[in-house]
Structure 1
Amino acid sequence: MLADVNVTKMFPAAYKAQMAVEEAVEEAITVAGLDRLTVDLVKLRASQINGCAFCLRMHTQDALKNGETTDRLALVAAWWESQYFTQEEQAALTIAEQITRIGDLHTAAAPKVDVESILDAKQIAALTWVAIAINSWNRIAISSHYPVAP
């Protein structure tokens, strides 16, 4: 178990750099023309896989504010088993899973989604950055023991 140390408070310059990454990712999202709900789904799915309670709560609230439904949110963890998600969302969720599970990529079965036939290169790159950034945030929140109380 990691020590109870808030890494963001210990090294605020590193946190500031992570915020700069987040700003650049937001710009990539805009340039790629990605739908905000798709981005919310990517952040939520990565946070589910990583078990980040802080980010799960935050991105669920964001998705609801952006018009997401509770039915779809309830199915994100098993998105490939439902017909709730568009091809674009399925491709984005595939990217989220591949980046988040990058260490298991060669041992775990990935959902069969032809990402390249659904998304263009800018969208793939932007969504990859979204997944990279949320994985970083998950690790920051989990290792810093960010509080998550009702």
Structure 2
Amino acid sequence: MSDEPRVHLSRAAMPAYKALESFSKTVKSVAADAGVDERLIEIVQLHTSQLNGCAFCVRVHLDRALSAGLDADIVTQIPVWRESGVFSERERAGLELAESFVYIHDGGVPDDVYDRVGGVLSEQEYVALCWILVAINSFNRIAIAGRYPVEPRSAE
């Protein structure tokens, strides 16, 4: 991968990016109204960003996950959630749905995933998480296409 800088999409078309930010806030409101807690939202956004390979969004959602009460143990278990016992049934459903959205080009959300997730989440929660996943996948693509940098954090 080249280190050449790329156009910063969010700065180059600020009205479009502001619309996406507004969309994201609306989606978070829909999720809150459906009873989806911040912890679950950050778990699925972090996992989606990991799977998409978006280092910038992983950094953003790591910080937000820690603010939402997740600790290092939970965060490091996200990539291996199927083998881990630290996630609730709701969180496992969200993680599975997140994976389906990342790989949606491989046949959409499979029926078995839809049925399993629908057996755990209410319809409103399912809808809200789907919109959360639409939003984070959009942000991932903007940051990846623009190769948004992730520099080492300075020691404080």
Tell me the TM-score normalized by structure 2: 0.87
Contact 1:37 1:63 in 2 (8 A): yes
Aligned residues: CA RMSD: 2.2
Q: Distance in 2 between matches of 1:111 and 1:95?
A: 7
The one-letter code of the counterpart of 1:141 is A
The one-letter code of the counterpart of 1:86 is S
Contact 1:96 1:131 in 2 (8 A): yes
- Give the CA deviation at 1:105: 3.9
The answer for the alignment partner of 1:136 in structure 2 is: 138
Contact 2:44 2:94 in 1 (8 A): yes
User: Which runs of 4 or more aligned residues in structure 1 lie more than 6 Å from their structure 2 counterparts after TM superposition?
Assistant: 110-113
The one-letter code of the counterpart of 1:28 is V
Distance 1:58 1:12, change over 3 A: same
Q: Distance in 1 between matches of 2:27 and 2:85?
A: 29
Identify which of 43, 46, 50 aligns with 1:44.
Answer: 46
Identity %, equivalent residues: 37
Q: Distance in 2 between matches of 1:29 and 1:51?
A: 25
Q: Is 1:100 matched with 2:102?
A: yes
Identify which of 68, 74, 86 aligns with 1:84.
Answer: 86
The answer for the alignment partner of 2:35 in structure 1 is: 33
The one-letter code of the counterpart of 1:26 is K
Contiguous gaps of at least 5 residues in structure 1: none
Q: Distance in 2 between matches of 1:24 and 1:126?
A: 10
The answer for the alignment partner of 1:57 in structure 2 is: 59
Identify which of 6, 18, 21 aligns with 1:19.
Answer: 21
The answer for the alignment partner of 1:116 in structure 2 is: 118
Distance 1:18 1:112, change over 3 A: closer
- Give the CA deviation at 1:143: 1.0
The equivalences for 1:4-15 within 5 A come to 4-15=6-17
What SS does structure 2 have at the residue aligned with 1:43? helix
Distance 1:140 1:42, change over 3 A: same
